[in-house]
Amino acid sequence: MFSLKDKRAIITGGASGIGLAMSRCFAAQGAVVHIFEINGKQAEEEADRINAAGGKARAHQVDITDHARVQEVFDLIAGEGPLDILVNNAGIAHIGNAENTAPGDMDRILNVNVKGTYHCIHAAIPIMRKQGEGVILNMASVAATVGIADRFAYSTSKGAIVAMTLSVAKDYLKHGIRCNCISPARVHTPFVDGFLRKNYPGKEEEMFAKLAASQPIGRMAEPDEIAALALYLCSDEAGFLTGCDYPIDGGFTRLNN
């Protein structure tokens, strides 16, 4: 079950955090993984590790805010064979409310999280429509549907991801394209560790425990747990699923009182 043997997948932000967990997981299940990463050297290093472990991965230096570059690389990949899976994982975070979020910060979040995802969807759909099948999986967040303090721009961007997911699922249902999204709560990634070092020097352990405890289950998710859900949603076993947002949140959405 959940085999991706010989399927070709693009994973944006696929060389770090949740994206890297997905790249490794998908490759282990037989997929040919195309890693999109703004840091080309990092993408090459992780692709080399996957290949050395017996998987199949290729690295592409791509800034998803650059529409022309995104289209160029999608065309290159499509010229070599089918595109079965697109995972829109790349994204950035921001802390701030509606008052103290600067216009430049708002533009930056929307350019990466919303327009970057749009660029990839815009490039992928004609390829998948011509094939008559394909899977698109977007990374949303519990912040899209639950009020979280000081996450105005980030929450806005992830709300857009949920809406985009539903729109694509509706418009391309008859073309054999499935589209879903995942909404994680806090996940323990290198980003979290870096955030704590930068904003809470000397109090990293205390703040980590506080953030972990905000999930009713009592801990943060691990990237591999998010990757496992992504694997299922991109597999043939999930063929009856489209147009859904899947929280993976340790009870955060429904059990916080």
Query: Catalytic: 154?
Result: yes
Which among 154, 172, 200, 246 is annotated as catalytic?
A: 154
Angle at 186 between CA 226 and CA 230, to 5 degrees: 15
The token pair at 244 is 């859904």
Under 8 Å between Cβ of 57 and 51: yes
Contact at 8 Å (CB) between 111 and 91? no
Contact 57, 46 (CB under 8 A): yes
Q: Please tell me the distance from the alpha carbon of residue 113 to that of residue 230, in angstroms, as a whole number.
A: 18
CA 76 to chain centre: 22
Task: List active site positions.
Answer: 154
